[in-house]
């Protein structure tokens, strides 16, 4: 495909924090949006003043992702204050690779490769009319521009939420999801990723069999389905016979995605479930737009389009 004909897009995955009661933390004296935004600002100010970096690393990988600075900008949507965050994040502890500008330079473990244009918009929500008793929640609109790796920008935003803002991303309960699916009766779009592993010592294609100690085959299957009755889907979800190591169900309705991941631990006896809710919006860009994708006004315009789109679907 000719690069000039390729359509670039801005994607806006949307995550929700856990819903908290005021009495759980006692963080806010009044049930107004400004107090929620002020809480976010105070956490960011404290982080910036500390001059510390927040690190995320995977146990099996040497490379680390770090966050060193966050800027914020006040904005507003339908008379509700919002906050745009601009995050500086980079990868370090790189033991391999190089960068070439005028000349080739091998990367060292102390070098940093990153960006200071990682954006997310925070929208506060309040439930309940009383100043003494109310619940609150935050919506995170992630600016996934075409220069970024989607997984990495989402990881950056979740790291900011969990480790800097001390706000946990909402963890959905399976019972509530199943109840919701029963109401739909028919699931329009379902995608299932299945990872399995089994021994295959008798495979005729195996060479040097007399030296073979052990042989395992890993297999990944991806299937797409339409119009599955919710009852049949629940039956499949409950079939945990050990025929898989990990499987992921993605249920898509309009721009909302529910992702259910089931994974067996190393002993294959304990099955863990994790559920994630994502709202995805995306907008096409032209060549002129690409020059402005990091301009604050352009970023806000696209994130507010997603915000408007989100609330139109959830009214």
For the chain, give the longest Cα–Cα distance: 76
pLDDT confidence band for 314 (50 / 70 / 90):
low
Residue 8 in contact with residue 285, Cβ under 8 Å?
yes
pLDDT in tens, 198-224: 776 566 667 777 777 777 778 889 999
Report residue 96 as tokens.
Answer: 């391999």
SS3 state at 97: coil
pLDDT in tens, 10-19: 999 988 898 8
| Residues 40-49, mean pLDDT to the nearest whole number | 95
Share of residues in the chain with pLDDT > 70 (%) = 86
Q: Which residues have CB under 8 Å from 261's CB, separation 6+?
A: 246, 247, 248, 249, 273, 274, 275, 276
For 143-298, strand residue ranges (E) read 186-199, 216-229, 246-253, 256-264, 271-285
Report residue 274 as tokens.
Answer: 């994790």
The answer on pLDDT for 280 being more than 80 is yes
End-to-end CA separation in angstroms for the chain: 40
Size (the chain), residues: 315
Cβ atoms within 10 Å, residue 33: 18
DSSP assigned state of 162: I
Residue 154 in contact with residue 142, Cβ under 8 Å?
yes
Report residue 19 as tokens.
Answer: 């819903």
Domain locations in the chain as residue ranges: 3-170+280-313, 174-269
Q: How many CA atoms lie within 13 A of 99 on its CB side?
A: 9
The answer on pLDDT for 153 being more than 70 is yes
pLDDT in tens, 137-152: 999 999 999 989 888 8
Distance CA(252)–CA(277), nearest Å, equals 10
DSSP assigned state of 101: S
Specify the pLDDT at position 42: 95
SS3 content of the chain, % helix, strand, coil (to 5): 25, 45, 30
The answer on pLDDT for 107 being more than 80 is no
pLDDT in tens, 218-236: 888 999 999 999 999 988 8
Report residue 37 as tokens.
Answer: 């935004």
Helical residues (DSSP H) of the chain, grouped into ranges: 22-25, 33-50, 150-159, 174-184, 230-238, 287-290, 296-313
* Highest mean pLDDT (candidates 2-11, 93-102, 103-112, 222-231): 222-231
Residue 10 in contact with residue 143, Cβ under 8 Å?
yes
Partners of residue 17 on adjacent β-strands: 169
């Amino acid at each position: 495909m000719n690069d000039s004909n390729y359509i670039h897009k801005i994607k806006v995955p949307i995550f929700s924090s856990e819903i908290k009661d005021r009495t759980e933390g006692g963080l806010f004296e009044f049930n107004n949006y400004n107090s929620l935004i002020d809480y976010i600002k105070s956490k960011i100010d404290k982080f910036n003043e500390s001059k510390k970096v927040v690190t995320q690393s995977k146990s099996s990988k040497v490379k680390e992702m770090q966050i060193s600075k966050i800027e914020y900008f006040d904005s507003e949507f339908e008379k509700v204050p919002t906050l745009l965050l601009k995050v500086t994040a980079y990868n370090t502890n790189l033991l391999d690779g190089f960068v070439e500008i005028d000349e080739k330079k091998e990367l060292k473990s102390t070098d940093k490769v990153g960006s200071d244009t990682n954006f997310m918009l925070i929208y506060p929500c309040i439930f309940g009319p009383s100043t003494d008793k109310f619940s609150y929640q935050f919506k995170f609109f992630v600016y996934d521009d075409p220069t970024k790796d989607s997984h990495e920008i989402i990881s950056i935003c979740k790291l900011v939420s969990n480790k800097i803002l001390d706000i946990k991303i909402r963890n959905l309960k399976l019972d509530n999801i199943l109840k919701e699916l029963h109401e739909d009766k028919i699931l329009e779009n379902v995608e299932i990723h299945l990872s399995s592993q089994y021994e295959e010592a008798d495979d005729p294609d195996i060479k040097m069999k007399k030296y073979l100690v052990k042989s395992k085959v890993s297999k990944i299957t991806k299937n797409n389905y339409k119009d599955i009755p919710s009852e049949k889907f629940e039956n499949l979800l409950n079939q945990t016979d050990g025929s898989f190591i990990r499987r992921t169900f993605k249920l898509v309705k309009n721009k909302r995605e529910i992702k259910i991941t089931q994974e067996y631990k190393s002993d294959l006896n304990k099955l863990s479930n994790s559920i994630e809710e994502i709202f995805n919006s995306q907008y096409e860009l032209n060549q002129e737009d690409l020059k402005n994708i990091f301009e604050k006004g352009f970023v806000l315009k696209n994130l507010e389009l997603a915000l408007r789109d989100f609330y139109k679907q959830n009214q």
